[in-house]
């Protein structure tokens, strides 16, 4: 999924007990281009952005990832791609 050409991503860094997020990136390709420009000793993870416009129930926030609909959750357009 993270390799997808169309899934927007954010970069997440955990530094001294603090979370720092960078992005959004339009897709895995642009995230990888950014990642390759960063120092090698920085540990960076990526996470796809979920669509904020989906109507969810309480349980939807706690379902295992394998039960999520990728088409519903990850069909997001970032500001940069508009």
pTM beyond 0.75: the answer is: no
Average pLDDT over all residues of the chain: 80
Q: Are 12 and 44 in contact (CB under 8 A)?
A: yes
- Name the residue ranges covered by the structural domains of the chain: 9-81
- Is the pLDDT at 36 greater than 50? The verdict is yes
Q: Give 21's strand partners.
A: 12
For the chain, what is the radius of gyration of the CA atoms? 14
Give me the mean pLDDT over the 15-30 stretch.
91
Identify the top-confidence range among 15-19, 20-24, 51-55, 60-64. 20-24
């Amino acid at each position: 999924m993270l390799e997808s050409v169309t899934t927007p991503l954010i970069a997440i860094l955990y530094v001294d007990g603090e979370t720092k997020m960078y992005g959004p990136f339009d897709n895995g390709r642009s995230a990888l281009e950014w990642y390759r420009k960063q120092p090698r000793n920085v540990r960076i993870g990526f996470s796809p952005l979920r669509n904020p416009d989906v109507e969810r129930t309480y349980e939807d926030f706690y379902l295992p990832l394998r039960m999520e609909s990728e088409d519903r959750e990850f069909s997001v357009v970032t500001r940069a791609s508009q």
